[in-house]
């Protein structure tokens, strides 16, 4: 079983800490796992050319922009489980993660059937961020596997929070049981 997590925070903050915990828990549970840190990647904005739509639902997954997405597409396609993590910005997803989602246009029909979960961190309230992720999962026909949310402001403020650690552990257990 393979997990691919994507972190949409521009800093080494709470979202990244939670995804790294999830990664460690997955690996110790026998799940192959990797994390894409968008803050370290060259991922340009979608140009909206829609050349990727050629072929409809059977599109070949080709984007006219050549950047780090070329290496990330196969990682998403090979995963059985996908987790997107985001800081909450103006009660929505971060721009970094939204742009990444837009750039999945060449492959999103092929994500059908995968399990998908969300992580979101806000200072005061999660707003629509988890609903934004549920909408994406629904459009792609992925199975919603749950979410973990936290309230924090300073980087890594959630580090060591036993309640959050317990919720992340339950999410990973759910992955394992969903795969039988």
Ligand X SMILES: Cc1cc2nc3c(=O)[nH]c(=O)nc-3n(C[C@H](O)[C@H](O)[C@H](O)COP(=O)(O)O)c2cc1C
**Which residues would be at the binding site for ligand X (CB under 6 A)?**
9, 11, 13-15, 87-91, 121-125, 127, 152-153, 155
Q: Report in angstroms how near the CB of residue 90 gets to ligand X at its nearest.
A: 5
Residue 35 or 65 having the CB closest to ligand X: 35
Residue 82 or 126 having the CB closest to ligand X: 126
Rounded CA gap, 102 and 46, in Å?
A: 6
Q: Report in angstroms how near the CB of residue 168 gets to ligand X at its nearest.
A: 14
Neighbours of 66 (CB within 10 A): 9
Q: Is 2 helix (H, G, I), strand (E, B) or coil?
A: strand
Residue 23 or 114 having the CB closest to ligand X: 23
Q: Report in angstroms how near the CB of residue 122 gets to ligand X at its nearest.
A: 3
**Helical axes 162-178 vs 14-28, angle rounded to 10°:** 50
Q: Report in angstroms how near the CB of residue 159 gets to ligand X at its nearest.
A: 10
Overall size of the chain counted in residues: 180
Rounded CA gap, 123 and 112, in Å?
A: 33
The angle subtended at Cα 123 by Cα 134 and Cα 72, nearest 5°, is 45
Q: Which residue number has the CB closest to ligand X?
A: 13
Residue 111 or 120 having the CB closest to ligand X: 120
């Amino acid at each position: 079983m393979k997990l691919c997590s994507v972190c949409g925070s521009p800093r080494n903050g709470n979202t990244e800490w939670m995804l790294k915990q999830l990664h460690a828990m997955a690996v110790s549970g026998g799940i192959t796992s990797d994390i894409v840190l968008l803050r370290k990647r060259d991922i340009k904005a979608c140009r909206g050319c829609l050349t990727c739509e050629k072929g409809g639902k059977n599109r070949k997954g080709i984007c006219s922009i050549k950047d780090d997405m070329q290496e990330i597409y196969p990682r998403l396609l090979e995963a059985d489980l996908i987790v997107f993590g985001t800081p909450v910005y103006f009660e929505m997803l971060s721009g970094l993660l939204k742009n990444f989602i837009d750039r999945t246009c060449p492959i999103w029909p092929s994500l059908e059937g995968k399990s998908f979960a969300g992580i979101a961190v806000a200072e005061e309230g999660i707003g629509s961020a988890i609903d934004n992720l549920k909408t994406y999962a629904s459009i792609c026909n992925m199975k919603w596997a749950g979410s973990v949310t936290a309230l924090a402001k300073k980087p890594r403020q959630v580090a060591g929070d036993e309640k959050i650690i317990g919720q992340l552990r339950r999410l990973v257990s759910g992955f394992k049981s969903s795969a039988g």
